[in-house]
Structure 1
Amino acid sequence: MPVVSFPVEILWSISHNVVSPHDLRSLRATNKTFRAIATPSAFRRLLVRDRVKSAEGFKHILEDEAITPYVQEVVFHDASAKYDGSMTDWDDDTGNDDVEKTIETLQTAFSLLSRLQKLTILRLVFHPIWVEQHDEDIYDISDELRTELAVLTGVAAASPSLTLHSLTFLNLTSFPNEVFEQSTFQSLLSSLQHFHVANKTVGFAHEGFNSLDPYVDFWERTIPRLFLLPASAPTAALTSLALHSDEDIGLIPEFSFAGLHYPRLTSLSLRRIFFHETTGTEEFILRHKDTLTRLELKECRIAVEEFAEAPSEYWSAVYRHLADGLEHLIDLVVVERADESLDPIIPERPLRYAHLDPGYGFMPAFDVISGEEHDAAALEDFRAVVNARGASTVR
């Protein structure tokens, strides 16, 4: 049977319509022509999991000089996490037959990221929950935490040669890590256009905080000084910032946006960050009034001082300030946690405020706070202003 030869244009069209990396790599194995055509698309994005076979395959790719010039994005994905970092609703029964080899290979492989000259996107999705047996002994660590530390150590080793535009940490363990202290790692942040940090708390529950709690140090030092400050230089390129906490943050532990400004910031997403005069959250947002076009607030609350009967400021005032000040905002997302009443007749009440429980921490204000009745209308007015502006921009 004679060999049929297709024009190169048709072959390019075929390869460009194949979306799956697995299918692209199968197509690449067909012949030399498809190998040359499909290679750039097949290896533009690399996904590695916490399994020995995946880690070894990832390492082999980074050692292949014929492939590394095409890699632009690397994603590490814990097998127990979804893409957004949440826990999967299915059990991974494949297991990891050699944990020690997996951890060792992952650290070595990520130290080879320096070979990827076109790498601009790095997304690290770690294990969704804290599985250590003893919260107070973070050195008696699980395989999940050892894997996280191995990946971060590898990235730190490669960081002097990297120029990333997008960096994402999901389920980052909330305790100090000497990796983040390295100047080379901090310099990695100066080139970022997108930075997303979402933590997981050390421990499932706690009984208050103390100054020695690693979780406190993480939020009082690591996040503001080692993450946010290096990315806020006057020449910083950051246009998108997402800072997500899995517990209410701002007073205990103390956290503040004071002194932080990103000249090019257009998109900001905050989760469970307190609005309070000491956190400066509202002021931080308004400092970016000239550039901000998108704002996302997820379960952010206003803290009510201990022994105080009312907050120092209501959401109704905050929403008015933001509506008036953010003149370029065209996209607004506000996600609120509701008090899910057992009585279907009673409408769910958003938990917009939090009180301090000295033995635990800040807890949502389940009792109605006098003055909060104006919040809902102010939020709707804020949304209406933003929606109208967005509609006029489209026209």
Structure 2
Amino acid sequence: MRFNCVIINVYGPNEVGLRKELWDLLVSLKSKFLGPWCLGGDFNEINIISEQIGCSRRDRGMKDFNDMIEQLELIDMPMLGRKFTWCNSQDRAKWSRLDRFLLSHEWVKNFNFKLWGLPRLLSDYSPIILMEDARHCKPKPFKILNAWLLHPNFLSFAQRCWSRFVLEGWVGFQCFMKFKTQKEALKQWNVEVFGKVENKLKCVEKEAHALDLLAEDRPFLPTEIIRRKEVRGDVWRLSKMLEWIWLQKSRMNWALEGVKNKRFFHITACSRNSRNSLCSIVVNDSMLEDPIEIKAEVEFTEEEISTVIKTRDGNKAPGPDGFNIAFFKKCATSRMKQVMPKIIIEVQSAFLGGRNILDGILIANEIVDGWKRSNKKCLVLNWILKRPMT
């Protein structure tokens, strides 16, 4: 694979002002060297306050450093093996992470890089090495993409797959098997029908541009008017899908509030994927790097699992099956509406469509008033069911 890139070895000056001049120089060079950037070396600056121990605060320099990283749209590669790269080797030890690699997202997309901190021997500095990890742990687990919900055929396909699989057994077993079958069907549907959204978007954008150029030369024919309307709809729908895909991968909520920078979400998703990689663990003072050994050692307590489930948001998957809350809102709600009237008592008045929470109060008042007017004796019970504390 041919990969044109820009590699820069950096040494940051000791003074904050001189470092700021260096950061500004790097930003100005970005427009002249357009390939994917790789910056590595001793930046003499930290990214966050937790990257130092026993040192004086350096808020100004840290802000300038982060501004440079943001302007260059770089990913700060997380370091494995150790936390810091520099120590003053004194009795009152001071630690800092001054050395690092900053990569453009194209690097992370095309290579499986890992940054390791190596043992510090006689020097105050620990060497670092950026190397490609050729290990393949396992295929990525299945997960519902929220962008699927925007496809016009998704809902009907999901309902059809759910309904056509019939088997005997208790309800829990039936649901388990139906979800298992649904998962395999959606994987195949994603490849054959949903496809590569980015490629589809490029095609329809190209066609939309061609239609615009045609409109500049002559009036549209009736069929061309219809086609341009269809293409514009496809551009909007595919753009929205692509935005949702990167929003979900980046785990950011900014797009819901109006920010639609897909490149930003792409960079955030790549950075998150690097941070979440579990490449090694320490067990009984011994480091394990083999994926099979790591999988065998990593165990989660019931309390940890319970905490994760209770604190998840709607975009998280409720279990290892990969079906998130958005899927159930889209597919299960319509099915629940059909059975809800059969399992809810007629006198239930709250939280149901077509019924008002005040109906019960009004009916109770009318009954009491009727008893008063007829001078009948009655007994009124105020029964409050309180949700148990968990």
**TM score, norm. by length of structure 2:** 0.23
Q: Larger strand proportion, structure 1 or 2?
A: 1
Higher relative contact order (CA 8 A, sep 6+): 2
* Pair member with larger Rg: 2
**TM score, norm. by length of structure 1:** 0.23
